[in-house]
Chains A and B, each alone.
Chain A
Amino acid sequence: MPGVDVRLVDVVKRFGETLAVDHVNLEVQDGEFFSLLGPSGCGKTTTLRMIGGFEEPTSGLIELQGQDVTWLPPYKRNVNTVFQNYALFPHLTVYENVAFGLKRRGGLKDGEIKSRVGEMLKLVELPGFDKRKPNQISGGQAQRVALARALINRPAVLLLDEPLGALDLKLRKQMQVELKRIQQEVGITFIYVTHDQEEAMTMSDRIAVMNRGSYEQLGDPESLYERPTTRFVAGFLGVSNLLPGTADGTAGAYAVIRLADNTRVRVPAALVNGNHNVEVGIRPEKIRLANPDSAASPETNQMRGVIKDASYIGVSTQYIVESRGGSQLTVYEQNVERATRAELWAPGEEVALSWTPEHTFVIKDTTPHDADN
């Protein structure tokens, strides 16, 4: 049973009038790949910087492996950081950059430092780069050096602040796979800050989705995607169709929700949890489109609508469908059965939408918009 590596208790950070981090409570498990995901200004980087010791919290407690480190300076914490834009020392060689931490901490013979640097450069696939200066290597290589420079110290936790942000898309995808490999190889806890939901989903064991200084939902990528509980999470991770409705009894293991156009849909009862006004959510790729005359399975949730727009994007086709209640739904259909453009649904055609109740999620938060209903 892995222990808790990093614990944040009621951490608050104010910059003057602005509340950057608002009472965050977090527990990151030992050996976990944990991501803080959110838009810019959501407080994710400030949270990371407080764990690293670069900012002091206004109030709250930060524990590292059970030890209170809230007021310790960065050089006294067993934590290392991979900075955004790498922050490699431009006057030092790759070797000296990677050896920097070991030399400062002391207690190691030159020979051992040398063999550990060699080992580390091999791990990040940069053997033989020892003598280069940071301005003589590419962005991707600089990224690896920054990683090696941090990992060589065998910290309890590695903090990564949007480390792939400066790389182009192809290199970024490659580095995502590699980061995950390295993390599994060294078994160190990673706390990863990003605004890229796909990046977070690809690598993380768990993700905290942050908004306005605190996280709205915390969980593994699958549960965040399949069962978002707030409007923000539903919209930030992928695309969601949200339909307002009210609870209207139960049907077996399902709760029944009556939507604005009086359509009744079923959702897993546990998700409703006694709320009356809710929003029902459904991901665009989970909706099937069919001819309205064809018989649909009674197990599914169903709606009628009219195609408003169809955009062919190769692997799939994106439809905008307007329901009879007036809400617009986005639907993705893989181009398998209807593979040519002539076979696609055309704007103006009437369709039946269906999806299984298990794919339906429920937004519980009541934003002002919901309160109006």
Chain B
Amino acid sequence: MSGAAIAVAAPSRRGWRQRLTGATPYLLLAPGLLWLVVFFIWPTIQMFLMSLSSGSLDDGFKLTWSIDAYQTAFGKFPKQMGNSLLYGGLATIFDFLIGFPVAYTVAFRGGRYKNLLLFLVIAPFFTSFLIRTISWKTLLGDEGPVLGFLKHALGVVPADFTVIGTPIAVVAGLTYNFLPFMILPLYVALEKIDPRLIEAANDLYANRWAAFRRVTFPLALPGVFAGSILTFIPALGDYVNATLLGNPQTQMIGNVIQGRFLVQNDYPVAAALSFILMAAILIAVTIYARLLGTEQLTG
């Protein structure tokens, strides 16, 4: 009796469940997709249309399919574009040089202090980005703790030497602000490496340096890639460090976009600049991925 009842009920119930199970991935993706459509894709389309518009804030912008904004963007700001690439690139390289030894030490030598050390890496996030950058102004100030010490206590630096308002200060600020974004992916990649692989390399006649070069570093490449992208992209578009620590000559593309949008209300050029920046980043990342070897990354 009960067997017959189950046999009748089962197919319909199973069908319903199967359909639900089949839809699960889409249901799980839905909130994220909706978010991206509303807050990323739609604004991007609007921004793209804006970059092809002309007019002013008072008269209103009209879509005229004009490429004037792009011509202005390309023609007038090569210096700021160059500054962005240079400062962003330098900050990424310095972050790598500082971050790799830190991530390596935490991953392989951290022992029971691993979590504490990682906490220290992200501890600056508990303070506002702005406040931290402003405090660098004091740190690097002409009579601040660093220069003051070098000038008066050691006397190795001339009294009129200044760092604030120079590219050095901007790169230093960028390097400092984005360092955790380099360290964390590197740490994750290094931590995953089975120490027995390094033993195996030693066993196969690789000394410490050869084992690092042939095994540890290649296996950390996904982390190098992720870390440098997470550092380079926001550093490229940053305008806070250049504003607070630089001078008018050290302006980056982010400063121009910010100025066009919020000060001059020149939306089409600001939008065109944003698109050029996006394209530049995409191209740079693609070239970078090729250079590192995508096979290695997915391997």
Contact = CB atoms under 8 A, between A and B. Distances in A.
B196 A100 contact: no
A302 interface: no
Contact of A85 (B196, B203, B218, B296): B196
A101 B299 CA distance: 21
Interface stretch (A17-25, A86-94, A291-299): A86-94
Interface stretch (B111-119, B205-213, B281-289): B205-213
Contacts of A52: 203
Nearest to B194: A87
B199 A104 contact: no
Contact of A89 (B197, B202, B207, B210): B197
A75 B199 contact: no
B68 to A, nearest CB: 50
B202 A87 contact: no
B200 interface: yes
Contact of A73 (B197, B207, B296): B207
Given A90-B219, A91-B218, A75 B206 contact: yes
Contacts of B201: 89, 100
Nearest to B199: A54
A104 B200 CA distance: 12
Interface in B200-237: 200-207, 210, 214-215, 218-219
A115 B125 CA distance: 56
B197 A100 contact: no
Contacts, number: 64
B206 A89 contact: no
Given A87-B196, A89-B197, A100 B296 contact: no
Q: State the majority secondary structure of interface residues on B.
A: helix
B200 A105 contact: no
A101 B207 contact: no
Contacts of A85: 196
A81 B201 CA distance: 10
A68 B12 CA distance: 76
B219 to A, nearest CB: 6
Contacts of A100: 201, 204, 206, 214
Contacts of B214: 100, 104
B200 A91 contact: no
B215 A153 contact: no
Given A75-B207, A91-B299, A104-B210, A83 B199 contact: yes
B188 to A, nearest CB: 16
A149 interface: yes
Interface string A50-93: 00111000000000000000000111000111011101111100
Given A89-B197, A91-B299, A133-B299, A80 B207 contact: no
A75 B203 contact: yes
Interface string A214-229: 0000000000000000
Contact of B199 (A74, A88, A105, A133): A74
Contacts of A90: 197, 219, 299
A89 B205 contact: no
B46 to A, nearest CB: 44
A96 to B, nearest CB: 10
Interface in B156-214: 194, 196-197, 199-207, 210, 214
Contacts of A153: 204-205
A73 B203 contact: no
B219 A74 contact: no
B251 to A, nearest CB: 42
Contact of B215 (A74, A83, A89, A101): A89
- Among A53, A73, A74, A83, residue most surrounded by chain B Cβ atoms (within 10 Å): A74
Contacts of B299: 90-91, 133
Contacts of A81: 199-200, 203
Contact of B200 (A53, A73, A89): A89
A74 B296 contact: no
A74 B202 contact: yes
Contact of A87 (B197, B206, B219): B197
A303 B200 CA distance: 56
Interface of A: 52-54, 73-75, 79-81, 83-85, 87-91, 100-101, 104-105, 133, 149-150, 153
20 contacts: A52-B203, A54-B203, A73-B202, A74-B203, A75-B203, A75-B205, A75-B206, A75-B207, A81-B199, A84-B196, A85-B196, A87-B200, A89-B215, A91-B296, A100-B204, A100-B206, A101-B205, A104-B214, A133-B299, A153-B205
Given A89-B197, A101-B204, A101-B205, 11 more contacts: A73-B202, A81-B200, A87-B194, A87-B199, A88-B200, A89-B200, A89-B215, A91-B218, A91-B299, A105-B205, A153-B205
Interface of B: 194, 196-197, 199-207, 210, 214-215, 218-219, 296, 299
Closest 4 CB pairs of A and B: A101-B204, A104-B205, A87-B200, A74-B202
